[in-house]
Amino acid sequence: MQPMAICYLWLGSGRAEELRMRQKGGRQVPTALTSPTVSRREFVASATSAVLLSAAAGAAGTRNASAVSLTDLSAAEAVLLMTRGELSVEHYAAALLARCAKGRALNAFITLDPERVIADARERDRERRAGKPTGPLFGLPIPVKDSVNTSQYTTTAGTPALRHFRPREDAPIVARLRAAGAIVLGKTNLHELSFGWTSNNLAFGAVHNPYDPTRIPGGSSGGTAAAIAAHLAPLGVAEDTEGSIRVPAALCGIAGFRPTTGRYPTVGCVPISALFDQVGPHARSVADLALFDSVAAGDSAPLAAVDLRGVRLGVVRDYWFAGLDPDVERVTTQALARLRGAGVVLVESALPGLQSLIDRSCQQIQNHDVRLALPRFLEVYGAGVSFEALLAQASPDIRATFKSDILPGGKNFVSEADYEAARDQVLPALKKLFADYFATQRVDAIVFPATMVPAPKIGDANLLDVGGRELAFTTAVSRNIDPGSTTGLPGLVLPAGLSPTGLPISLEFDGPAGSDRRLLALGIQLQEVLGRLPPPRI
């Protein structure tokens, strides 16, 4: 194994520099990613996915140095180099593990086993040398949220009672990634039982935001988001019931994608509600999100090119833009101006009754379903602990939430009558509201600031000072993301800029249900206009 401290690529036999840069279209592009000797047909044959080539080409356009750090590679770039044998999987895994060690203070991982990762990497290298077909994620180490079952690692869901729970088999989503050639790069920290937006886990320690370690990374998938933002890996598995992909992506300044509910399997994931739960990816580029989607959804069709001129984005100011933190409002306004300058048409309208429909459906459905779904998960997967014992061992904040909001006798307990009304009447009305909106306004997506505030301080989970007024933490982080996940829409988060104190501020783009590939294709162009944030210093 080459030393883990080596962070730059150099070509072996027959090539000079592995990532020598050349000019193309006014931008610096790695030679290894644009060689004219590799045709699209040849690439697809070796990588088994057309999306990989387009992803690598799109990501490659961002390079502007004479050599590229391994930990700065996109997922698509790394896979391409490993597939072609120009970078060993072991070497790449070692570089990521070295970066993980450097970023240990972020507390992004609950479980990280370097020896297992290196062993898996060596096996991938042996398979390639033996001529075994490589998959579209060949050799890529992917961190997985610790609420998703993995046979190689424990699945704790961030709660003490599951500290030693080792599932017998991978969740289907993990099985798909591994079948495509990926390696599991450990299990990432999260808000305990995915019940919160801070990732201030009292059992396994708080996850820290890479842009300011005194701040939250968002939750519940805070560990995955922190890992991707800090370049511990280029692509990771997150999970979203009510913002748990999108809030951490927004606060950590990365790209996050919550697909249309049901697009990827959520079997084998610690549940809250089958009506809302959805696995999805975190990455630094939309091209890598599309790569993940091609594997997770079994849809490797190339993304259709999108011209932003004439693209229509909906703006609903009376809901998503009201009461924003001044920095969020300023960065959002500037970002919308850049999009308009690129030819995007901003369509201003309203969604009357939206707040009422959310208030009568979102929490009611989740808080009812989790008290049935979680015990069933524990039994089906042989966790070896009862629901009652799990709660008895849970951290004080989680016990208090379950006591007040979920268990019988709590002040916010959801009766069967209230649940059925929320599920059978309010939720269909909410979905119809959005379907009618997309049909009448003819917009490709709705655009809005993903959260009302930049990342709050760790421990500030009650009232926040927003422009001189008090705002509830839950409102600040969840108001804007609630409609998308409750309605089941695909949602894409992209960074839009930094606050004066260096904190990421992000936009979310929600498309019509089922428009996932179109939204990702659009997102590649949107990211070109919005740009990317400078990486955090860790």
The residues assigned a catalytic role are 145, 220, 244
Helix (H, G, I), strand (E, B) or coil at 212: strand
Closest CA to 249 of 461, 494, 519: 494
Q: CA 523 to CA 320: how far, in whole Å? A: 20
Q: Counting Cβ atoms within 10 Å, is residue 114 exposed (0-12), middle (13-18) or buried (19+)?
A: middle
SS (H, E, C) 350-382: CCCCHHHHHHCCHHHHHHHHHHHHHHHHHHHCC
Closest CA to 81 of 117, 128, 132: 128
Closest CA to 1 of 127, 104, 75, 93: 93
Q: Which runs of consecutive H residues, i.e. helices, occur in 130-221?
A: 172-179
Contacts of 449 (CB under 8 A, 6+ apart): 320, 321, 324, 328, 329, 332, 480, 496, 505, 506, 507, 508
Q: How far is CA 240 from the centre of its chain?
A: 9
Instruction: Name the percent of the chain in helix, strand, coil, to the closest 5.
Output: 40, 15, 45
Q: Are 240 and 274 in contact (CB under 8 A)?
A: no
Closest CA to 503 of 138, 144, 251: 251
Closest CA to 324 of 495, 501, 506: 506
The number of C-alpha atoms within 13 Å of 511 and in the hemisphere containing its C-beta is 21
Q: Counting Cβ atoms within 10 Å, is residue 337 exposed (0-12), middle (13-18) or buried (19+)?
A: exposed
Distance between the two ends of the chain, CA-based, in angstroms? 25
Q: CA 33 to CA 299: how far, in whole Å? A: 23
Q: CA 137 to CA 56: how far, in whole Å? A: 12
- The pair of three-digit structure tokens given for residue 14, joined into one six-digit string: 């027959």
The number of C-alpha atoms within 13 Å of 451 and in the hemisphere containing its C-beta is 35
Q: CA 16 to CA 23: how far, in whole Å? A: 17
Closest CA to 109 of 69, 75, 158: 158
